[in-house]
Chains A and B, each alone.
Chain A
């Protein structure tokens, strides 16, 4: 099993450009997440998808959109990149308990994005 995969690994954008970060998991998990991590900081939740067909805002959703394409894939789109979005982006997935609460998350290797 590959676990959680992310593409691309690195990306440089100019201010105003758009791009989509791709994430896929092969663990048949119901829930998926997108985080960003700035240097020396903890992770901040951008969006999450509790189950296929649903998405919800996290702590820092402004400037981003997401699509839960199917159970395996969850993409993050930057419509008009800004230097403040320079960060490392991590995708994660988790299973859910029968009552709905998420279990531990499994993270991908990250995408390093620089916006100039």
Chain B
């Protein structure tokens, strides 16, 4: 299972773009990279998933370089409601490892 490294916390202001980078040096060839968001007192919620290059949906973009040893979640124009913990999960099997995640705090 790939081990991940993410910043413990980040601060931002409303309207800014936020980029959270995750390192996963020993990612396996078949592993996808999935990002989840968790609000206090709630279960995690799927945000985006990708294998390589760039993936975009209505919520975020995910950038994955060619070597796939890292990935960057990009949240455009964050709002106060984006304050949450963000988890990066490389993997393809059932034994998902959630690390401590990145606590994003968005200020007015």
Contact = CB atoms under 8 A, between A and B. Distances in A.
Interface of A: 4, 31, 33, 35, 40-45, 48, 50, 56, 58-59, 90, 92, 101-102, 104-110
Contact of B34 (A40, A104, A108): A104
A106 to B, nearest CB: 7
A59 B98 CA distance: 11
B42 interface: yes
Contacts of B41: 110
B93 A92 contact: no
Contact of A102 (B30, B43, B93, B99): B93
A22 to B, nearest CB: 15
B46 interface: yes
Contacts of A58: 95
A110 B92 CA distance: 24
Contacts of B98: 35, 42-44
Contacts of A90: 43-44
Contacts of A110: 41-43
Contacts of B93: 101-102
22 contacts: A4-B43, A40-B100, A42-B87, A42-B98, A42-B100, A43-B44, A44-B98, A50-B94, A56-B94, A101-B30, A101-B92, A101-B93, A102-B93, A102-B94, A104-B46, A104-B49, A105-B44, A106-B46, A107-B42, A107-B43, A110-B42, A110-B43
